[in-house]
Amino acid sequence: MKKSVIVVAGGSGSRMQSDLPKQFIKWCGKPILMHTIQQLVEFDRHMEIILVLPKNQVELWDELCEAYNFTVEHTLTYGGATRFESVKNGLEKVSEDCLVGVHDGVRPLVSAQTLKNCFDTAAKYGSAIPVIDAIESIRELGDFGSRAVARANYKMVQTPQVFFSSKLKEAYHQTYRDFFTDDASVYEAAGNTVSLAKGNRENIKITTPMDLLVGEALKHPSLPSRRE
């Protein structure tokens, strides 16, 4: 079955303490977003890439593609005011009969095994989200104050989150609600069941200056960490 991935890249860079949107920050030799897209097509060179960017960032992206000679084929569409609207816009570019993943533009370290796990699980069960074990202690907050909970009952969720395109499009016909924090929450609210797949701990979301350093160390574990 055909594979498509919607890459959502709408960051502002505020947590990076940078005027440059985080997905365009140079990391390990080129903008983070280019690493992310490259990782996807290295997994499957026939994969359809749909990039969702804010309209006011498209010109800069075009300039960066020219500057870095980035020629990976992708379809570009504009983002909305929220992530929900951005994914919805991306889905308009996706064919009906495919497996579609939604991936954060600043997760360049997703492994080929995680991608395989997600697409294989979604092909079998209709959906798949990559998860990893929670390794920190977790506390629940409420009117009672806080209390310890069993971390074995919780998983940390990553992307890409993969679904049959027709079912995800149907789910995104819903009205936006505040608890829609990812695609799985939208899909689940439409009455569907979400299946889990094994992620990789290196698949961090690069959103802070520390993440840049950690990510570089993960990408090049044999080299001293430094920001290029």
Residue 37 has pLDDT above 90, yes or no: yes
Domains along the chain with CATH numbers: 3-130+156-219 (3.90.550.10)
Q: Which residues contact 122 (CB under 8 A, 6 or more apart)?
A: 99, 101, 128, 162, 163, 164, 195, 197
DSSP assignment, residue 221? T
Q: What is the pLDDT of residue 19?
A: 79
40-49 pLDDT per residue, tens: 999 999 999 9
Reported pTM: 0.93
Quick one: tokens of 133?
């074990």
Question: What is the tens place of the pLDDT at every residue in 55-79?
Answer: 999 999 999 999 999 999 999 999 9
pLDDT score recorded for residue 57: 95
CA distance 83 to 85: 5
Calculate mean pLDDT across residues 108-113.
Answer: 98
Average pLDDT in the 12-34 region?
A: 83
**Chain center to CA of 123:** 19
Considering only residues 153 and 11, tell me which one the structure prediction assigns the higher pLDDT. Answer: 153
Over residues 122-149, mean pLDDT: 96
DSSP, residue by residue, 68-119: TT-----EEEE--SSHHHHHHHHHTTS-SSSEEEEEETT-TT--HHHHHHHH
CA distance 133 to 136: 9
